[in-house]
Structure 1
């Protein structure tokens, strides 16, 4: 019952930490820490679907966390530059190659729309605030597009979580098949993680 156990642990964590905990996790997600929003927001949706959390407070707290994390990354780039980011990133499992890919993405598509679009792209959304800061992008458009992109993305994942919760009895009925899928996903993710760090030069440029 792997899927059921994972959901129980995630919900227990959110029960304990509340809106602040969800906001903190999303702040980490918007920085360079390996905390994917796809692993946080659906369970926030569970809380809303169960009637434990208010929908608007859930969206507001997680979006505020995303903005705070993005702003901290922006300031790291703005005031510290790339050398400081690389030094500090060692403590947050920063992948330098991913950062370089994000820099290329940002410089090829300079403009406020780049920040907005990046919120929907895996890997890129974790790093995009740093080159925006290094490039001295004006703060107001940066915050505006970050707010819109983060709110839309977080809300989408939250709603997915709510819909998933509604279908949970069906998922439990087929939990064995779901467990196999979860194990396969974990193994695939671990394999990709190892491969991406051993062969960075073979990954395609954005």
Structure 2
């Protein structure tokens, strides 16, 4: 961190937005630790990492805008257990709650990156997306940078608790996906049985 400096920390956070396995929960406290040692200022750490969050978010926003609703509907029509109507419902939900989703999503592992894609798909106004991203990312980054700044060499404590949050989110995603698959398969089987003449009593 002392070698790459605050700008390098910002680049790392931008990459973390595009490639979530890069752990911001490690990068941010290390930036705070380096700031506490005087390698750069605390303000530089916060400004550069938040700027990195914004750049990474806009990259994924661009991917979402490139995909668009029509292309996603066409993809959903070809993917087993998905329907174009799923895209329509997701877009309708995001259009109602997109502002809250972008702001709070910046503070949730995994979703911190992915939330930018539906924002691009729905073409959320760039100024609104940018402001919400900066606000949410600044809060998340500040908590972890200040933790590293305050804890010093004990900053791995932050990672330990952040891992718990990440595991909870991953478990929730797995359960949600499993439930979705179960409901779709059950509906598919019921539909096939209902259309099968042999399944109907004569």
TM-score, normalised to structure 1, is: 0.63
Shift of 1:156: 0.7
Asked if 1:38 is matched to 2:25, the reply is: yes
Instruction: Trace 1:35-184 onto structure 2 (pairs within 5 A).
Output: 35-81=22-68, 104=90, 107=93, 110-165=97-152
Q: Max radius of gyration: which structure?
A: 2
Q: Is contact 1:45-1:162 (8 Å) kept?
A: yes
Asked if 1:202 is matched to 2:178, the reply is: yes
Structure 1, unmatched stretches of 5+, are: 1-13, 85-99, 172-177
What secondary structure does 1:110 align onto? helix
Structure 1 distance, partners of 2:180, 2:145, is: 31
Report the count of equivalent residues.
158
Structure 1 distance, partners of 2:118, 2:144, is: 26
Q: Quote the RMSD (CA, aligned, Å).
A: 3.6
C-alpha change, 1:104 and 1:163, in structure 2 (3 Å) is: farther
Structure 1 distance, partners of 2:100, 2:61, is: 16
Q: Is contact 1:24-1:65 (8 Å) kept?
A: yes
Structure 2 distance, partners of 1:128, 1:200, is: 17
Structure 2, unmatched stretches of 5+, are: 73-85, 182-202
TM-score, normalised to structure 2, is: 0.64
Shift of 1:201: 3.7
Structure 2 distance, partners of 1:167, 1:33, is: 24
Structure 1 distance, partners of 2:47, 2:29, is: 15
Structure 1 runs of 4+ with >6 Å offset = none
Q: Is contact 1:27-1:67 (8 Å) kept?
A: yes
Structure 1 distance, partners of 2:15, 2:68, is: 20
Shift of 1:166: 6.4
Q: Deviations over 1:155-193 (max 9, x none)?
A: 11001111221657xx9xxxxxx8xx97xx7xx97xx79
Q: Is contact 1:22-1:62 (8 Å) kept?
A: yes
